[in-house]
Amino acid sequence: MKFSVPRRTATLAVVAAMALGGLAGTTASAAPGAALAAPDIPLANVKQHLTDLQSIANANGGNRAHGRTGYKASIDFVKAKLDAAGYTTTVQQFTTSGATGYNLIADWPGGDPNQVLMAGAHLDSVSSGAGINDNGSGSAAVLETALAVSRAGLQPTKHLRFGWWGAEELGLVGSKYYVANLPTTERAKVSGYLNFDMIGSPNPGYFVYDDDPTIEQTFKSYFAGIGVPTEIETEGDGRSDHASFKNVGIPVGGLFTGASRVKTSAQVQKWGGTATAFDRCYHSSCDTTANINDTALDRNSDAVAHAIWTLSGGTTTPPGKVFENTADVAIPDNGAAVTSTVDVTGIAGNAPATLKVDVNIVHTYRGDLVVDLVAPDGSVYNVHNRSGGSADNLVATYTVNASTEVANGAWKLRVQDKAAQDTGYISGFKLTFP
Ligand code: DTR
Ligand code: ZN
Ligand code: ZN
Ligand code: CA
């Protein structure tokens, strides 16, 4: 039941959520130049995703393989969570081995579109089992990190994009298809791709891909910080979706806890466990939720978040010239548009191609809203158009190419609520010029 929430309660709700570390509406920021620390990724949340993926396999013939109903159900499951968290999602279809395959791409609004940091995992299993370690573990860790980005209202310098790949088990087919269909100009914008395939093995090792040195060091530093020794991943070249990105020159990295290879006695000394296979259920029907080492899954999930926060430039960019209006402006429910205005002065020439637009709207149903930036000459730049469903609030940073607009003048944030029930107000509108 949708309901309208009086401003005071809405404010209280947002404050309460902030206190609980819950909903969006809390925008993470740090002193200029300071790095933002990644949040702890709750192991319970990651395990719940694995339980849900196990249930999907159980309800679909025991697997989540390409071309089977369990795979599409897995895609729908992950997509629904990301849509509710405010991501812009795209399902990319392809055909292989006579069946339709699906990739899921999720973009976190904001950040520099010319610097894209990607992270991904293949979501398909083999046909013999549920594929909980291979690769529910990677898929769930990436999903929970994406949800943590949303909860934090992270506004990184780079644009964040997450991918869940189909048909990896048939030869990296989904990720190859994604890269092959990414225009060269778009590939050039991807500053790095982080891959997570089998990161919860029951007899785990802690392996770091040795491809891009910066990414490798980011992971190594994390594990060193928690006192866990790592080794370079030696069997990985070409063995998972990072190869699709590496093959077109995109810097890659990732984590791995081992498959059918046997842990050596030296590795047992280093990591504990037994001198047996890292994952004795690799590609087998016993790759279920019982086939997970919680400590490995927890450590690697936190390492995923650490890498995303660190490599996305979680530091605040050096402040430029800021023009802000923090006056609250009530948004009439399903009614006329309202505006918040900033008067820009002292900026010579035109606005930049990367004009930073910070929007802070308190509302109980962001899918009701159409939000436009209106330049002094009346040009309209739509930044939000009814996406996000019933999620609360719209707290985001947009990068607008306003290079054809004269900078000085009255810039307006125009907001219209276009659906009955649920109301809110503009809490803040900020423009940052370099
Ligand atoms: N090919 C992956 C499992 C795998 C085997 N070796 C590595 C090394 C690095 C990442 C993944 C793997 C699969 O079966 O999905
Ligand atoms: Zn596999
Ligand atoms: Zn795998
Ligand atoms: Ca409404």
Ordered by where they begin, the domains of the chain are: 34-316 (3.40.630.10), 321-433 (2.60.120.260)
- Give distance in angstroms: CA of 315 to centre of ligand 1: 33
Q: Which atom belonging to ligand 1 lies closest to the Cα atom of 209?
A: 9
pLDDT attached to residue 22: 31
pLDDT attached to residue 397: 86
- Give distance in angstroms: CA of 134 to centre of ligand 2: 5
Ligand 1 neighbour 198 (Cβ under 6 A): yes
Residue among 168, 216, 233, 405 flagged as catalytic: 168
Percent of the chain surpassing pLDDT 90: 82
Q: Is the model's pLDDT at 105 over the cut of 60? A: yes
- Give distance in angstroms: CA of 238 to centre of ligand 1: 9
| Single pTM value for the model | 0.69
Ligand 1 neighbour 256 (Cβ under 6 A): yes
Per-residue pLDDT, averaged over 400-426, amounts to: 95
Ligand 1 neighbour 245 (Cβ under 6 A): no
Per-residue pLDDT, averaged over 199-225, amounts to: 96
pLDDT attached to residue 321: 84
pLDDT attached to residue 314: 60
Mean pLDDT of the chain: 90
Name the residue with tokens 């990301």: 82
Q: Is the model's pLDDT at 41 over the cut of 60? A: yes
What is the per-residue pLDDT across 349-359, written as a single tens digit (0 to 9) for each? 899 888 989 99
- Give distance in angstroms: CA of 388 to centre of ligand 3: 31
Ligand nearest the Cα of residue 65 is 2
Ligand 1 neighbour 241 (Cβ under 6 A): no
- Confirm if 52 and 143 have CB atoms less than 8 A apart: no
Q: Is the model's pLDDT at 186 over the cut of 50? A: yes
Per-residue pLDDT, averaged over 259-264, amounts to: 98
pLDDT attached to residue 6: 37
Ligand 1 neighbour 235 (Cβ under 6 A): yes
Binned at pLDDT 50, 70 and 90, residue 433 comes out as confident
pLDDT attached to residue 320: 60
Which residue's CA is minimally distant from atom 9 of ligand 1?
Answer: 236
**Can 169 be counted among the known catalytic residues?**
no
